[in-house]
Homo-oligomer: A and B are copies of this chain.
Amino acid sequence: MADRVADSRRAVYVISVAAELAGVHPQTLRIYERKGLVDPARTDGGSRRYSEGDIEQLRRIQDLTSAGLNLEGVKRVLALEAEVERLEAEIAAAREAARDAVEQTHRKYRRDLVPVSKSIVVFDRRR
């Protein structure tokens, strides 16, 4: 973690290597980029550089296209999968917030209570 950027974001692969890693034709990667499915970094000279995260995205795209989806479908599915992930995180957060809220409520009452043994004498006059 001494790196300047996280490993999965370091753009290190040129297009030929990225294509090999993802198991597709280099030209296919250029098509994906034009269609907005990946967005690799660029060198000053204009060459594409793919990160590990880009490669994962490419593999995910491969899964979907070889399942028969076209590129528009892949785009939507990726967006929806991200949405699902976000919602699942939100559920986890909501559950945790629920636990905390109950806990806080308990604390509040405990703080307000005064220990009987050391401080008060109680006489119950009821019936």
Contact = CB atoms under 8 A, between A and B. Distances in A.
Interface of A: 64, 67-70, 72-74, 76-77, 80-81, 83-84, 87-88, 90-91, 94-95, 97-98, 101-102, 105-106, 109, 114, 118-126
Contacts of A83: 80, 84
A122 to B, nearest CB: 6
A17 B12 CA distance: 57
Contacts of A126: 114, 118-120
A68 B75 CA distance: 11
A76 B69 contact: yes
B118 A120 contact: no
Contacts of A94: 91, 94-95, 98
Q: Sort A-B residue pairs by CB-CB distance and give the 10 closest, nearest first.
A: A73-B73, A98-B98, A68-B72, A80-B80, A94-B94, A87-B87, A105-B105, A69-B73, A70-B70, A119-B126
A19 to B, nearest CB: 23
Given A72-B69, A83-B84, A98-B101, A121 B114 contact: no
